[in-house]
Structure 1
Amino acid sequence: MKKKRSGSSRYFFFFLVLIVLIYAVYIGINSLFTKLDLFKVKYIKINGNVNLETDFLKNICNDFINMNLYSISKKDVLKKYENIVRIEGIKVSRIFPNKLKIEISEKRGVFFLRTERGIIFPIDKNRVVLDNVNFYENEVLPVIGTKIPDAEIIIGKRIENILIEKIFFLREKFANVDPDFINSISEFYLKDENLIFVNANIGYRIVLGENEIEEKLKRLIFLEQNRTFEKGTTIDLRFKDQLVIRSEEI
């Protein structure tokens, strides 16, 4: 006697046929979408950029105009922008029927570093050196005066430097007291092991020393709010419970 096919075998067969049909429909629809003129890219929209110019970013991907919207992959877009150091990430969206949307996230400068020879480069929050071909209006940043040889600067790479790390540490301390204080400093530099800040508005110098940074900053802000200081003056807060105001640099 011939053995009957079990119910589970029949279900498996029907399931397999269904999967093949769904895949065939997907291939057919996908093929249709990638060939119809209706889906040729007519518009490219750039979002999220802050310093990088929209026209510059748009011109880079003009090759996508008149290409089929559904034939463009994120990999294709990323490849166009891979050599732009200031781009941190890209999100690509297709907007029916013919618009390509590219959202840019930028690396933003936090400080300028000045090299041994006086060349200025922006660095971002991760200490990555950004290009200095263009200086942007939005990037008015404090300068860190370093002795780093120019040959050690590689655009797009992280810079390792003790002074830079110290100033990033201080930036966090400042933010605990007054997040805007960092914007009132035009320059940081070392002199005889002492870290000196230069006030951006008037030009007086500030020395906080190594300890109790937050408490000293509170005292400094109180002083700035209640008296004026002349350009060239040094406010010396290195010593515990003592304020020294000098007319010359330390």
Structure 2
Amino acid sequence: MKDDFNVDELKKKLKKDRKETPTKATPKSDEEKVPALTTEKEVLDLIKKESSEKNNDSLDETLIEDYRDEEKDALNIEYETDESENKKESNFKDKLKSIKRPKFKLPNINYLKLFLIILLLSVISVLSIYLISSWSAVKEIEVNGNVNLEKEEILERSGIKEGNKMYLLQTNKAEENIKVLPIVEKINIEREWPNKVIIDVEEYKIVGFVESHRNYYPVLENKRVLRGFHMAPENAPIIHFFEGKEFDGLVDSLNDVNPEILRTISEIYYRPHDESNTRIQVLMNNGQEIIADYTTFGEKINYFEGMSNAIGDKNGIIDLEVSNAFIPYSTEEARRVKRDMSRIPKHAPYLEEIDENLESIKKALDNID
């Protein structure tokens, strides 16, 4: 690169000099006479040759000096080596390290609040979809604890139906509507999300039945008679001739009777006599007959199974009133007991009075219409 630069400059100077001092014969153009020079030695040889061909024509010394000065300058050019390049690269890296890079500061964000906001929005979205969709509709109603009440009657009283919105159910009002039924002791209605309703019913235990005009009405453990609630007398005895405090006392005793034993009792009659106003006559499903005191009957009758096995097939009266003994029908005492019990009326007076009162009320209502 150094030689090409200097040679070109010399060519230009030689052309200029020839134009200023033309020769005698110029058969060819200047370009054809200027050979291609590539090295310093060739250029110097050419200059000497031309100077000798000229008749004592001298070469301009300044031209040679300029050429040599340029050559000197060209020789003084420093070319970069691999070492210098590595050094520069190292210096550049040091400068980069020394430059203080601007710190990028993140905005001051409370990520906990952001998370809570996102969570709240998600919950609101899910709830909104749930409330307006069929997912919130009642799909199952479960009724537990009902023994004498039909499931359909409980559901009708509650007003709860499949397809109702879970969040619109008025459980308190439904409980009040069911609690109106006198046989219901406790009622509890719970939502089981997402689509189920559970109705837990606790009924009063039926301890007996009373008969009026060939209809049977249950007697509850709370001493209430369900008038108008007709039922077949099952799993409890039919009660005859009891009223007032005698009725209440008998119900208290029946509450103490084991349910398994209570199912084996067929009928109970109130049989007072001169010596006691608390005597009762009890007829069992297996045909055995018992006399007892209604105030202590509940605790004594629970041992009936053992007594029945001890008696076997013998016919007579089991006395639980005083002596806890067996009285065969063939004895005079058994015949006396039977005579005393036959004097009692066939129907309980208080039931007859109730029927008469109901009839009078019905007639009064008909007259109003």
TM class, shorter-length: 0.5 to 0.7
Partner of 1:126: 222
Partner of 2:139: 42
Q: CA deviation at 1:109?
A: 0.8
CA deviations 1:172-226 (Å, max 9, x no partner) are 6765xxx744433211112334311112221x32113589869976997555213
Number of residue pairs matched by the alignment? 206
Q: Which amino acid aligns with 2:219?
A: I
Q: Give distance in 2, aligned partners of 1:216 and 1:90.
A: 34
Q: CA deviation at 1:141?
A: 0.8
Partner of 1:144: 239
Superposed, 1:30-179 pairs within 5 Å as 32=128, 34-61=131-158, 64-114=161-211, 119-131=215-227, 133-135=229-231, 139-146=234-241, 148=243, 161-171=244-254
Q: Give distance in 1, aligned partners of 2:154 and 2:298.
A: 42
Partner of 2:280: 195
Root-mean-square deviation (CA, aligned residues, Å) is 3.9
Q: Contact 1:146/1:163 (CA < 8 Å) preserved in 2?
A: no
1:207 to 278, 291, 306: 291
> What runs of 5+ residues in structure 2 fail to find an aligned partner?
1-116, 340-369
Q: Contact 1:209/1:238 (CA < 8 Å) preserved in 2?
A: yes
Instruction: Give the TM-score taking structure 1 as reference length.
Output: 0.62
Q: Which amino acid aligns with 1:246?
A: Y
Partner of 1:225: 309
Q: Which amino acid aligns with 2:231?
A: F
Q: Give distance in 2, aligned partners of 1:103 and 1:210.
A: 34
Q: Which amino acid aligns with 1:187?
A: E
> What runs of 5+ residues in structure 1 fail to find an aligned partner?
1-20, 149-160
Question: Over alpha carbons, which structure has the higher Rg?
Answer: 2
Which of the pair is proportionally richer in strand? Answer: 1
Q: Contact 2:254/2:298 (CA < 8 Å) preserved in 1?
A: no
Q: CA deviation at 1:237?
A: 5.2
Q: Which amino acid aligns with 1:166?
A: G
Paired residue secondary structure (1:163) = helix
- The change in CA–CA distance for 1:68 and 1:242 in structure 2 (over 3 A counts) is closer
Which of the pair is proportionally richer in helix? Answer: 2
Q: CA deviation at 1:61?
A: 4.4
Instruction: Give the TM-score taking structure 2 as reference length.
Output: 0.45
Paired residue secondary structure (1:120) = strand
Q: Give distance in 2, aligned partners of 1:101 and 1:220.
A: 40
- The change in CA–CA distance for 1:170 and 1:55 in structure 2 (over 3 A counts) is closer
